[in-house]
Amino acid sequence: MSIDVLSPGLLTTVQDLGRFGWRHLGVGTSGALDAYAHTLANMLVGNPANAATLEITLTGPRLTFQHPCTIALCGAQIDAHCDGQIIPCARPVQLPAGSTLTLGACRTGARTYLAVAGGIDVPECMHSRSTDLRGGFGGLAGRALRAGDHIPLRPSSLLDLTAPCIAPWWIDDALDAAHSAPIHLLPSVDALASPGTLLATRWNISAQSNRQGLRLQGPALQLVNNDERISAPVAPGTVQLPPDGQPIVLLADAQTHGGYPCIGHVIRADRQRLAQLRPGDTFHFAAVTPQQARQAWQAQQHMLARLQLAIHARREAMTC
């Protein structure tokens, strides 16, 4: 079973939940930037949360499915058509063999996740199928999709269909809009000369942002102590301050060590909202305590658990 790539979209990569246990060797996490949307898409098609999906950035690919399959799209709302029929997001859709799925522009948000029942069957590298674009490994030959690629799929139950079958139900896959709700962060040991500026500013997302990090534009920040620092461990969510005073929020493809000062760390529950910010979007930070960060993560996991129960009940009753 496979998917044929007719056109690749702007940046489409194979991702799972990431590559863990290798940071001591300088290997980053990679994985889906919006792990929440990735997980929901997998739930909708009956996959485990860590099954590999396609992460689609801003503009999607055109794909042909050689065998019947069940798909789901979650994350950014994207224009999707299958052989002329509109395909909605946030619900399971069964496609017949030979279907061509055309994914256009993301109308809201920056990234959409396409899950296929059974999961994408690229080889594991360091216990993950995620693409590490900086390292050039994992996923499909360590790179974004290209026209002419064939994406292998794991076997799943075959469907006898002549037209797409769209579930009459859907889930709410949206979190709080990042432009209206603050991005929460934990304060850092590197003190700013004007700490209120970091929280009071509506930061603009630079077009130079990528999977490694979001580059922010706003008033230049300065530290109380500008002494040179030795490299220290960093992780997805770390907010670094380069010499130009414009912060960088590290994302999944970030390096494992960095020499820039650390002025905060975005909480885990808010990282998927960072993934949906587009160049030109704005947001503001709000400080939280470690206890509040844990509570936010626990609440998000409880929500996923409730959604999984509801999805399982609906999928069991789905017929075409």
pLDDT string in tens for the chain (320-residue length): 889 999 999 999 999 999 999 988 889 899 999 999 999 999 999 999 999 999 999 999 999 998 999 999 999 999 999 988 999 999 999 999 999 999 999 998 999 999 999 999 999 999 999 999 999 999 999 999 999 999 999 877 667 777 888 888 888 876 554 457 899 999 887 778 787 899 999 999 999 999 999 999 999 999 887 777 778 889 999 999 999 999 999 999 999 988 898 999 999 999 999 999 999 999 999 999 999 999 999 999 999 999 999 898 887 766 66
| 3-class state of residue 52 by DSSP | coil
- Assess contact for 255 and 278: CB atoms under 8 A: no
pLDDT for position 83: 87
pLDDT for position 282: 94
pLDDT for position 115: 97
Distances (CA, A) of 1 to 9, 98, 119: 22, 12, 11
| 3-class state of residue 173 by DSSP | coil
pLDDT for position 158: 67
- Assess contact for 1 and 66: CB atoms under 8 A: yes
Q: What is the pTM of this model?
A: 0.93
| Fold held by 183-288 | Cyclophilin (2.40.100)
pLDDT for position 176: 52
pLDDT for position 178: 44
d(CA 319, CA 33): 33
Distances (CA, A) of 115 to 89, 98, 118, 299: 11, 17, 9, 24
pLDDT for position 318: 67
Answer positive or negative: Cα dihedral of 289, 236, 273, 309: negative
- Assess contact for 34 and 17: CB atoms under 8 A: no
The structural domains of the chain, with segments of one domain joined by +, span 2-174+304-316, 183-288
DSSP 209: -
Using the structure block, give the residue that is written with the tokens 């010499």: 243
